[in-house]
Copies of this chain bind each other. A is one copy, B any other.
Amino acid sequence: MATRKAQLVFERPLATVDVAIFTVLQEQLHVLLAQRPKADDEPFPGRWALPGGFVDVAQDRTLEDCARRKLLAKTGVAAPYLEQLGSWGGADRDPRGWSCTHAYFALLPADVADQQAALAGERVPARWVPVDEALKLRLAFDHRDILEAAVARLRGKVEYTSLPAFLLPEPLTLPQLQRMYEIVLGRELDKSAFRRRMLEAAFLEETGPVPGAGARAAQGYRLRDRDAPVLFPRMFKSAEGMER
């Protein structure tokens, strides 16, 4: 198995990156989908898919660079929360041949998600779709599997991390943050226990009062670390058997 030989002998699979980009709009978790081109020589023409595309060896230094490039192109957002989800590779997932995709997932605050509207109609049609709907669509490639994995990972991690904070613009308030948790988890949480947990985790810094929706203004907070979530020592309630 000499390597020079290997380089010649082994056919190289196609390499792509796909990103599941989430945000919360109208009290619902949404994912960004892009429509595949309709040309006949394209795989899955006209179908909806996760935004993504080929790794550009000439342009991307690393896989993560590639993911950030695609994210910027689709959403106009430069530095959202981005984490690797996994890779899917096989002979059957792309009609053009053996391919590997490197899947990422990203979280965006709703306000910058709106900026995406400005980019809409530029090149490829893209739209925000509620995840329940998206999972019912016949997505291109194996993107349904990937989206399922992304949603499972998100829901799982929300049980014991501060991830939902990345779904909000700063300054954020605790009532807003609790709402994000509830939307992603699909169940209500106790206010007192929630606040205790967030404040004890000490990942928030007070800014000023924020005159939110209600009568009384809420305390505003900023994240101490915009790059990584905090991990809590326990899960909410009893969530045994859930995905992580």
Which A residues contact B (CB, under 8 angstroms)?
1-4, 6-7, 10-15, 37, 39, 41-43, 53-58, 60-63, 66, 84, 86-92, 96-98, 100, 102, 231-235, 238-242, 244
Contact (Cβ within 8 A) B57 A91:
yes
Residue in B closest to A236 when the chains form the complex, CB atoms: B233
Contact (Cβ within 8 A) A89 B55:
yes
Residue in B closest to A239 when the chains form the complex, CB atoms: B233
A7 to chain B, nearest CB (A): 6
Copies in the assembly, this chain: 2
Contact (Cβ within 8 A) A13 B15:
yes
Residue in B closest to A39 when the chains form the complex, CB atoms: B2
What is the CA–CA distance of A58 and B15 in the complex, to the nearest angstrom?
17
Contact (Cβ within 8 A) B86 A3:
no
Contact (Cβ within 8 A) A235 B233:
yes
A106 to chain B, nearest CB (A): 16
Q: Which residues of B contact A12 (CB under 8 A)?
A: 12-15, 57
Contact (Cβ within 8 A) A53 B231:
no
What is the CA–CA distance of A100 and B232 in the complex, to the nearest angstrom?
33
A88 to chain B, nearest CB (A): 7
Contact (Cβ within 8 A) A90 B62:
yes
What is the CA–CA distance of A89 and B244 in the complex, to the nearest angstrom?
24
Question: Which of A10, A42, A84, A232 has the most chain B CB atoms inside 10 A of its CB?
Answer: A10
* Residue in B37, B57, B86 whose beta carbon sits within 8 Å of that of A98 in the complex: B57
Contact (Cβ within 8 A) A240 B234:
no
Contact (Cβ within 8 A) B100 A100:
yes
A241 to chain B, nearest CB (A): 7
Contact (Cβ within 8 A) A102 B90:
no
